[in-house]
A and B are shown apart, each in its own frame.
Chain A
Amino acid sequence: MIINHPLLGPRDSSEFVYLGDACLINRPDWQADDALDQFIEYGHTRDNPAGLHRELWYHEQGDRSWLVVTRNTVTHEITQVELARDVARAEGRSK
């Protein structure tokens, strides 16, 4: 499987470490009234789609960047690769 790194170009997936669902970027507000429920959801509950899945990959044997990879869990086809920091900033996460 080849991951098309947005900066470095196509790289073998063996250079990367898989973390899991990219929803981990959306860390809940710890001061919210229902923070406990939100963190239980955040920490434990995952969708398990047969199809497109956004997931976090870490380029450990390369530039050490975190990527958000959109992968089809049925075919392994990768349709989009973004720098996780760009995704986080676009969602107002990185301040």
Chain B
Amino acid sequence: MHDLAPLCALGGAEPHTDQVAGVTLTENPGHGLASVAARLGQETACADHLGTLLGSDAPGVGAWVRSDPMSAFWMGPDQWMVSAPFATHEDLAAQLIQRFGTSASITEQTDAWVWFDMQGDGVEQVMQLCANIDIEKMPVGAAARSVIHYMGVYVLRSAPDALSILGGRSSAGSLHHALLTAMKSAL
């Protein structure tokens, strides 16, 4: 049996944290992720399953619905990303396949992404430097797909002074560099 030590996306045993002025940037390995794509003709059934999981409607265009333990944000027409605490939902995709049956195609996403949390006074100014999105017009609970330094990302607004940024795990170091550089420049 191999004895492998789990590492965070930036390579450390513990999540990496940076602070610039009043803003902290923290790597967050605590989310299990799975994508849900409705199959043709099953769009309503799929959205109903997702709504039941979340205890509300499935997220509409550009929306992020947070609940306990499952949350989901809109990725595209009839497509969502579902997240849940990794500690209790490491097998999130398998759980969702049971729930959605043949109404959706479920893909494990946990190890495809790095999740950064950015919090503090000035997160809007940082994001203005990073991505071509109207961050000032994004309310809490909004989700947007965009590009930072040529890397595809999702930007989620979790609070007036807090954002979450998801990027490809294989380019976690480059995304971290981009965010940290913007923090140092903007703050």
Seen from chain A, the residues whose Cβ lies within 8 Å of a Cβ on chain B are 7-8, 12, 14-15, 60-65, 83, 85, 94-95
Contact = CB atoms under 8 A, between A and B. Distances in A.
Given A15-B147, A63-B76, 12 more contacts: A7-B61, A8-B61, A8-B62, A12-B132, A61-B146, A61-B152, A62-B145, A64-B76, A64-B145, A65-B77, A83-B77, A94-B40
B138 to A, nearest CB: 12
Interface residues of B, number: 11
Contacts of B61: 7-8
Closest 7 CB pairs of A and B: A61-B147, A63-B76, A7-B61, A63-B145, A62-B145, A65-B76, A64-B76
Q: Which label, helix, strand, loop or mixed, suits the secondary structure of the A interface? A: loop
Interface in B51-89: 61-62, 75-77
B43 to A, nearest CB: 11
A64 B35 CA distance: 15
Most B-side CB within 10 Å, residue of A15, A60, A62, A85:
A62
Nearest to B150: A61
Nearest to B60: A7
A4 to B, nearest CB: 14
A70 to B, nearest CB: 20
Contacts of A83: 77
Interface in B137-186: 145-147, 152
Contacts of B40: 94-95
Contacts of B62: 8
26 contacts: A7-B61, A7-B77, A8-B61, A8-B62, A12-B132, A14-B132, A15-B132, A15-B147, A60-B147, A61-B132, A61-B146, A61-B147, A61-B152, A62-B145, A62-B146, A63-B75, A63-B76, A63-B145, A64-B76, A64-B145, A65-B76, A65-B77, A83-B77, A85-B77, A94-B40, A95-B40
